[in-house]
């Protein structure tokens, strides 16, 4: 009798603005299917339609469950462009936790960024008011309430104009541009499992190549191995 190992898949996508964090939509809005032509994978958690940045996709159901479980406190990093410049008191309030619909959020890490992060142009510009400057704040949370970051900044008097998630735990976008995706490395998968260790991750596993990464740019799938590269076209 021959047994085959289940080959689990792990991908990281830079979700563009106004894209749903799902693979189908009856109203014709853009979805993950428009950017990641990989079957039978699902997003870990959600990122709002009007937010941008890192989305993790996998068919590893055990890891999905653990990454979504608040007891593991996997930290998510957000860059928030705010309407106005928050005071120290406002930042301290975010750090202590704020009330959202009679529920107090867990303490967050919040700091004003001295320099504007080097990010891509959004497909639709934010609204500007000449008399009120904007600012960028980095907020780190491990909760997953609906539209939590936007509600937090509104609660302290500084509405969110633009929201980007550059990192989840040890994973970061790095040079990945909107609509691009790449496959996670062995080391990244191992670290995610270490951070959410508790019980067995199920029976599925996958033999993986080492020393290589995969990246998709504009419908092309790139592999690099041992400092050499080759291209393989994937139809979209």
Q: Which two tokens stand for residue 201?
A: 């991750």
pLDDT given at position 214: 52
Say whether 48 is catalytic: yes
Lowest average pLDDT, out of 144-148, 155-159, 194-198, 199-203, goes to 199-203
CB atoms within 10 A of CB 25: 15
Better-scored residue on pLDDT, 2 or 142: 142
Q: Classify residue 184 by its DSSP letter.
A: P
Taken in order of first residue, the domains within the chain and their CATH numbers are: 10-70+170-233 (3.30.70.580), 75-168 (3.30.70.1560)
Query: Full-prediction pTM beyond 0.95?
Result: no
Q: Classify residue 75 by its DSSP letter.
A: -
Q: Classify residue 125 by its DSSP letter.
A: P
Active-site residue, from 25, 34, 48, 69:
48
59-84 b/e with 16+ CB inside 10 Å = b? Answer: bbebbbebbeeeeeebebbbbbbbbb
Q: Which residues have a Cβ under 8 Å from the Cβ of 175 and sit 6 or more positions away?
A: none
Q: How far apart are CA 117 and CA 137, in angstroms?
A: 10
Residue 34 has pLDDT above 70, yes or no: yes
Q: Which two tokens stand for residue 32?
A: 């993950």
Q: Which residues have a Cβ under 8 Å from the Cβ of 232 and sit 6 or more positions away?
A: 220, 221, 222, 223
* pLDDT, tens digit (0-9, with 9 covering 90-100), for 94-107: 999 999 989 999 99
Beta strand extents in 74-202 (DSSP E only): 76-83, 99-100, 103-104, 109-112, 134-141, 160-168, 171-172, 181-183
């Amino acid at each position: 009798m021959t047994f085959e190992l289940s080959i689990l898949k792990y991908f990281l996508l830079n979700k563009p603005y106004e894209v749903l964090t799902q693979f189908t939509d009856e109203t014709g809005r853009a979805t993950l299917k428009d950017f990641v032509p990989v079957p039978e994978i699902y997003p870990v958690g959600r990122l709002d339609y009007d937010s941008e940045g890192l989305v993790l996709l996998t068919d590893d159901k055990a890891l999905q469950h653990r990454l979504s479980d608040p007891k593991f406190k996997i930290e998510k990093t957000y860059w928030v462009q705010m309407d106005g410049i928050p005071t120290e008191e406002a930042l301290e309030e975010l750090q202590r936790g704020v009330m959202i619909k009679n529920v107090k959020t867990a303490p967050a890490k919040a700091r004003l960024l001295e320099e504007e992060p080097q990010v891509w142009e959004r497909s639709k510009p934010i609204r500007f008011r000449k008399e009120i400057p904007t600012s960028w704040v980095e907020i780190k949370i491990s909760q997953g309430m609906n539209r939590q970051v936007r509600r937090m900044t509104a609660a302290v008097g500084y509405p969110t104009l633009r929201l980007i998630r550059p990192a989840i735990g040890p994973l970061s976008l790095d040079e990945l541009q909107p609509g691009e995706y790449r496959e996670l490395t062995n080391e990244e998968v191992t670290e995610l499992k270490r951070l959410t260790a508790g019980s067995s991750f199920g029976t599925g596993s996958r033999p993986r190549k080492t020393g290589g990464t995969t990246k998709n740019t504009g419908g092309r799938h790139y592999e690099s191995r041992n400092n050499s590269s080759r291209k393989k076209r994937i139809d979209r």
